[in-house]
Amino acid sequence: MVAKTEFGKVAVLYGGHSAEREVSLRSGQAVLAALQAQGINAQGFDPAEQPLTALVEQQFDRAFIVLHGRGGEDGTIQGALEYLGIPYTGSGVLGCALAMDKVRTKQVWQAAGLPVAPSAVIARGRAVDWQALITDLGGKVMVKPAQEGSSIGMSPARNAAELEQAVALAHKYDREALVESWLSGPEYTVSILGDQALPAIRVQSTHEFYDYDAKYQAGDTQYHCPAGLCELEERALEQLAVTAFHAVGGKGWGRIDVMCDHNGNFKLLEANMVPGMTTKSLVPMAAKAVGMSFEQLVKRILELSEV
């Protein structure tokens, strides 16, 4: 564990160029304020406004990554920091690159025998029998760009025409679209800190699914922690999340999202290696449930950064 006096000069990396820039700015400002409140020499650094080489020129000792989406959560910034010799928070190059790609994450989980919903991958430009596809996947599906976060580019489809439109939308963000069977059960998220799972949170949205608006703008989304599971189910969900996190090379901190099918079986959705850290974010909420303040949480994440 690294003592506060040993952190040196810390760059809080936020903003960036991705579609999640605005969320990243809010997360970064919250993290920056929390670190500074504890006497840690932290400064904000937006890679969209200055080159990464400035981290060396300005003599930063380590980085707290709060860049969401492409360029910050996909292994790119992690590789650059390793090249520059600057320790950073969270998972490494491989873990971030895998987790950012929903298709490859799902393939790794399937190979590891972990539960996922039936799905298909549609590459841009591929000829598809839309009716056959939606029938094969149960008549209702969720369509996602392979490499976006915050539910950007996601939409449901109930028939062939809607499926074609949903895939076209996803293809605006990525060359591959992931089409998954619709999961009708409750949605849960499990935060990982170190090698431990924090209490699960059940997400209850009035929207058809937990979309961008429900995550960041709507005032009626409900978060339940405790999640309402019996102790056996809670332990099983936490263990599933930790196993899924490690399967894709996760370390330090992150979040695993899970939903239940109509039979109540847990199905893994995705891994988040740089989760949101805004006032409405889920990792701080889970930490609070075990008596950990936001300031304590960000300090612990910084302690877990590799030297």
Residue 270 assigned as binding residue:
yes
Q: Which of 91, 150, 191, 305 is catalytic?
A: 150
Question: What SS3 class is residue 192?
Answer: strand
Give me the count of residues in the chain.
Answer: 307
CA distance 182 to 217: 24
Query: Is 205 one of the catalytic residues?
Result: no
Query: Is 306 one of the catalytic residues?
Result: no
145: alpha, beta or left? (left if phi > 0; alpha if psi -120 to 50): beta
Q: What is the token pair recorded at 141?
A: 């599906």
Spell out the residues 6+ positions from residue 67 whose beta carbon is closer than 8 angstroms to its own: 13, 14, 15, 16, 18, 24, 47, 73, 77, 274
Spell out the residues 6+ positions from residue 299 whose beta carbon is closer than 8 angstroms to its own: 4, 34, 35, 38, 40
Question: Between the CA of residue 281 and those of 21, 219, 233, what are the distances in Å?
Answer: 15, 13, 23
Residue 272 assigned as binding residue:
yes
CA distance 200 to 76: 29
Half-sphere exposure at residue 111, Cβ-oriented, CA atoms within 13 angstroms: 8
Q: Which of 119, 181, 281, 305 is catalytic?
A: 281
AA identity, residue 150: S
Q: Which of 18, 20, 24, 27 is catalytic?
A: 20
Query: Is 281 one of the catalytic residues?
Result: yes
Residue 257 assigned as binding residue:
yes
Q: Would you list which residues are annotated within the binding site? A: 257, 270, 272
- Please give the positions annotated as active site: 20, 150, 281
Annotated binding site for Mg(2+): 257, 270, 272
